[in-house]
Amino acid sequence: MGSQHELPADRSYSKPLGIRFLEYIKKAKLSYESHQAIVLIVTFFAYASYHATRKTTSIVKSALDPQSSDVGLKFPWRITYLSAPAESKGLSWVLGDGWAPFNGSDGTALLGQLDVAFLSVYALGMYFSGHMGDRMNLRIFLTVGMVGTGLFTSLFGAGYWAKIHSFYYYLIVQMIAGLFQSTGWPSVVAVVGKWFGKKKRGLIMGIWNAHTSVGNITGSLIASALLSYGWGWSFVVPGLLIAFMGLVVFFFLPVSPESVGAYREEDEVDSLRKSEEEEGVTEPLLGSNTELKEKAVGFIEAWKIPGVAPFAFCLFFAKLVAYTFLYWLPYYISHTGILLYFLLLCI
């Protein structure tokens, strides 16, 4: 009977190539804690890259639909462009003249339609992504989502060099990008949940959830720094960044302890076995011949879980405010004198 409780030693696991490489260098199996650290780091930067690509639109809006010369705050680059000689303007026309069709009288409305389309597909895609994530290898699923996000974010920026002025091109690209973006949150939360117990989950999630702010800040800095070289770069570089992180996820992310054969310290396993014996469990939960199969939760069943509905409505209103600032605050500041007033008060 004792042999039934031995942990599988030679079982073939679907370890990512990066994990195998690290174990080859170390000449030993990675510990459970090492896997946890890899999961936290990889998922942190993975979802930060999602937000970095999502943030670029709000920064580029002011270049696509610039303020008129007689309304609002005149930024230094705007003043420099208007006062510079014609021969020195060069590529600066992007910042000064905008980009059709967004620089017309209905430019603000068109940009708003892009946001509505993106967020609508993103919200709808979250539901399907959650279902698909429960039934697929999360490492593959997340990789496809990140590479797809990078591709269509870059395609939006490619309109700059291809001189595309069709609104429907940007609309379709944004909608498909929103669909791929929806793969991020359900996947990273599911992976982190598989690796951390309830005792430390609150602390871990509190620290780990800083990826949204890190991603927004990084996306803002990258998009702003590259805007003067052409607004296309503000999309392409974050797109390449998230595609690269998608490859990192593919090579290094262990989706669950069972998938890589990682187990907790021996005393914790012994405690689990003892509780199994006390409850009369004859088949070991961690045995070599037993695999844990989780049943995916449906849409109606999910709403019946206690606390889901109140949390969903709270998150709805929180996201309503957050995305209003995320997508429109830079544009609002650039089109009003609010920043000028603030600077005058500081002086």
Rounded average pLDDT over 215-225: 93
Range name among 110-124, 143-157, 179-193, 258-272 with the lowest pLDDT average: 258-272
pLDDT digits (tens, 9 = 90+) for 253-300: 999 998 888 887 654 555 455 555 555 544 443 333 334 445 666 667
Round to whole Å and give the CA distance between 173 and 208.
30
pLDDT digits (tens, 9 = 90+) for 48-83: 999 999 989 888 988 888 764 333 333 333 333 334
**Domain 14-68+100-262 homologous superfamily, CATH:** MFS general substrate transporter like domains (1.20.1250.20)
Q: Which residue has the higher pLDDT, 222 or 335?
A: 222
pLDDT recorded at residue 95: 55
Whole-structure pTM value: 0.73
pLDDT digits (tens, 9 = 90+) for 75-109: 333 333 334 444 444 444 445 578 989 988 888 88
Residue 149: band (very low, low, confident or very high) from pLDDT cuts 50, 70, 90: very high
Residue 10 has pLDDT above 50, yes or no: no
Return residue ranges of the chain for CATH 1.20.1250.20.
Answer: 14-68+100-262
